[in-house]
Structure 1
Amino acid sequence: MDTDVALWRAWWPHAWRLAAAAAVGIPVWLATGVLLKRQAAETDPWFLVGDPLVALGCLTALVWRRRFPLAVGMTVAIASTASALATGAMLVALASVSTRRRPVEIGVVGLAYVTASQCAVELHPVQGAGPPSPWWVQFALSALTAGIAAAVGMAVGARRAEVRSLRDRAESAEREQTARAAQARALERNRIAREMHDVLAHRISLVAMQAGALDHRGDLPAEENRMLVRSIADGSHQALEELRDVLGVLRAGPARPEPPQPSLDRVPGLVADARASGLDVALTTSLTGEPPDVVGRTCYRIVQEGLTNAAKHAPGAHIRITLEGTEGDKLEVGVRNSAGRSGNVRSPVSGFGLLGLGERVTLVGGTLDHRPTSDGGYLLTARLPWPHRTREKRT
């Protein structure tokens, strides 16, 4: 059943055009036969046998008109000279050539059709009841018929080109939509990885540092051991809590508001947690005003990343954090640590923290810089834009 439907769909465009060619050619052939019958007692055998055979050959040739339009058009034009029944096939061939909208091809086939029409008049000289028509009337009638066929073909060609253009635009839009979806998925994966790193790296680094101290200091009193173990447990619990907050942000939908994200006001708490974990941290704040939420969140992540890297790569170092800025100008963040003790257990180096931090800073229009210092330490600085509140709302 499916095969029959496929064959029908494949042959339907040819079938109805062949039927149209026959519908045009048969009246012309019958009218010519009637006029010839009036002029002669016997009808020419060629007209009864040869003419239909030539027309059948022309109709068969139309099957290949799309693959070889110019060749089929010229062949049918020449063959239609000897066949009145092939007039319809000739008009279909001319229309098929015109769908390509190439003036030279249309002109050549149209001229061949007009010439064949004049030759056909000489082959079958029919006369009506009145005086014979002048040659220019017959020429104008042939040219008019060819013009109509060419106009129809060009209209069909323009329609096909428009449909093809719309199909290409739809496919292009679908490809762009697929690319945008893939890009969105990649951005979401990067966002998840960045949030996971920001949350877990800091807490786990502090836990690892405390566990390393507990492992290397076997002479610690029992009270200090209990404090370290309690700090490790608290740090692990806080890591889990912050991980739940991140997952809540990632799973938040339109009907579920996002949990509040850490901002600038939580930097002192972050420093306090670092001090409680054994880090030597000093915080200096010189801010005039309250920065926007996005700038505050970026500032928090910068400080968090600086503390994480210091705990991982420079245990025992002195860390100095500076926050300076003025509304309407910029917010400068600096995290500087001195050289740490050697011989301690070091956490694995991922290298993705600063990359993700650079993306965050770039998104808010700031700049990030990080480099070793001359005393063996490390410096992490960032400059973030701090627009006026009124200007931000107006924008």
Structure 2
Amino acid sequence: MNEDVVPRLAGWQQTWRLVAAAALGVPFWLSTAVVLPRGCATDSCSWLVTGDPLVALGCLAVLLWRRRFPLAVALVVAVASGASTLAVGAALLALCSMSARRRPVEIGVVACVYVAASQLALMLYPVTSPSGPMWLQLALPALSAGIAVAMGVAVGARRVEVLSLRQRAESAEREQTAREAQARALERNRIAREMHDVLAHRISLVALQAGVLDHRRTLTTEENRTLIRGIADGSHQALEELRDVLGVLRADPDGPEPPQPSLDRIPELVADARTSGLDVSLTTTVTGEPSDVVGRTCYRVLQEALTNAAKHAPGAPVHITVAGTAGDELHVSVHNSPATTPTDRPPTSGFGLLGLAERVALTGGELSHHSTHDGGYLLTAHLPWPDHDHGERS
């Protein structure tokens, strides 16, 4: 809503309430004038046409502060209504406004003051007929006060309900915003992890081959041709795998997931590393077929380990061990010896192993990595491998 509209709307609401209060007091003022003796308004009862309206106007003016000082304003107007029948409407509005706070003690005090003050009007004006028994004289003020209190309590309850609904809506909106931010962060992490897993490995191998071409000047023509072909093939494969990753990220989350690398592609991974110049040996003693999640995680562990070996220890022997059986664990170990030749420290993000540890933790496994006593590096992963077939048979 426009900021200029809100104050204008509040001003109109204030105005029509004051007009309603003034209009509500008119029937009480006229009823008093009817029961007075003929000619009294210009003689002993001149207060009815002079002081009574002035007190009512004062009460209407005081009502402007009823939101800031509800109890004080209600008491003042209730007492003043005893000297002005035209101010009865203002007194009822003040009582209704104060009742919206739903404080029983304050409501009871103001209601009693209003009923007691209403009896003063009987003393101000000499009526021409008896006003009946005392309980009847109190019935009309008590009834009008009860109606005002009921309306005020209902308005207060409605305000509390609206406030509660508004707070719940704002809370739901904040939660929705937080969920959307979390989903965006998770999606960014997912994209970063997949891009790192795919591109870091391929680009590291390409960089390794390019480094060999740059540093070794004694290579034969055939060796140069082999390295150049490897760089071209690695770049092409990097683009192909990037395309595959983007296809996975754009795929329908409710649809079937495209095939991901698993244990069956480990020999291909090792062969690519050897083609790029790494001295890699592989020992595999795996019995059974692990789940897609375990197989994919194992593949990513080896991929990250080979990438780091190519970056930090080019030319060093790398030994990979993969062993495990269903119902136990899948053990992955990658050990590389120290670098055979000193190299410049390659650029690194530092998040590869962190992302890998998160990936392993999601499967319920453990990842550890540390330097060895001979100056090499060892990376191990233990991935749980529940025996689903055994569970189904039992």
Rate the CA distance shift 1:100–1:41 in 2: closer, same or farther, 3 A: closer
* Aligned-residue RMSD, C-alpha: 2.5
Matching residue of 1:164? 163
Deviates more, 1:277-286 or 1:297-306: 277-286
Deviates more, 1:312-321 or 1:245-254: 245-254
Matching residue of 1:356? 355
Per-residue CA deviation, residues 49-78 of structure 1 (Å, 9 max, x unaligned), is 211121122222223222221222122112
Q: Distance in 1 between matches of 2:253 and 2:338?
A: 48
Q: Which runs of 5+ in 2 are unaligned?
A: none
Query: When the two structures are superposed, what TM-score results if normalisation uses the length of structure 2?
Result: 0.91
Once the two structures are TM-superposed, the CA of residue 259 in structure 1 deviates from its matched residue by 3.7
Q: Is the 8 A contact 2:333 2:380 kept in 1?
A: yes
Q: Is the 8 A contact 1:212 1:345 kept in 2?
A: no
The alignment partner of 1:37 has SS state of coil
Matching residue of 1:374? 373
Per-residue CA deviation, residues 318-350 of structure 1 (Å, 9 max, x unaligned), is 212122222233222221112221323442232
Per-residue CA deviation, residues 23-66 of structure 1 (Å, 9 max, x unaligned), is 32111111111001369585611101211121122222223222
Matching residue of 1:26? 26
Q: Is the 8 A contact 2:41 2:47 kept in 1?
A: no
Matching residue of 1:51? 52
Matching residue of 1:89? 90
The alignment partner of 2:82 has SS state of helix
Q: Is the 8 A contact 1:94 1:109 kept in 2?
A: yes
Q: Distance in 2 between matches of 1:187 and 1:14?
A: 51
How many residue pairs align between the two structures?
Answer: 391
1:137-152 alignment, distance < 5 Å: 137-152=136-151
Q: Distance in 1 between matches of 2:297 and 2:351?
A: 16
Match of 1:109, as an amino acid?
Answer: V
Q: Is the 8 A contact 1:248 1:258 kept in 2?
A: no
Match of 1:339, as an amino acid?
Answer: P
Q: Which runs of 5+ in 1 are unaligned?
A: none
Q: Distance in 2 between matches of 1:75 and 1:10?
A: 24
Rate the CA distance shift 1:116–1:169 in 2: closer, same or farther, 3 A: same
Q: Distance in 2 between matches of 1:273 and 1:127?
A: 116
1:56-205 alignment, distance < 5 Å: 56-126=57-127, 128=129, 132-205=131-204
Is residue 13 of structure 1 aligned with residue 45 of structure 2? no
Rate the CA distance shift 1:225–1:392 in 2: closer, same or farther, 3 A: farther
Rate the CA distance shift 1:382–1:25 in 2: closer, same or farther, 3 A: same
Q: Percent identity?
A: 69
Q: Distance in 2 between matches of 1:18 and 1:210?
A: 88
Per-residue CA deviation, residues 280-312 of structure 1 (Å, 9 max, x unaligned), is 112222222211112211111101001111111
The alignment partner of 1:371 has SS state of strand
The alignment partner of 2:36 has SS state of helix
Matching residue of 2:323? 324
Once the two structures are TM-superposed, the CA of residue 8 in structure 1 deviates from its matched residue by 4.7
Q: Is the 8 A contact 1:314 1:339 kept in 2?
A: yes
Matching residue of 2:275? 276
Matching residue of 1:218? 217
Q: Is the 8 A contact 1:58 1:76 kept in 2?
A: yes
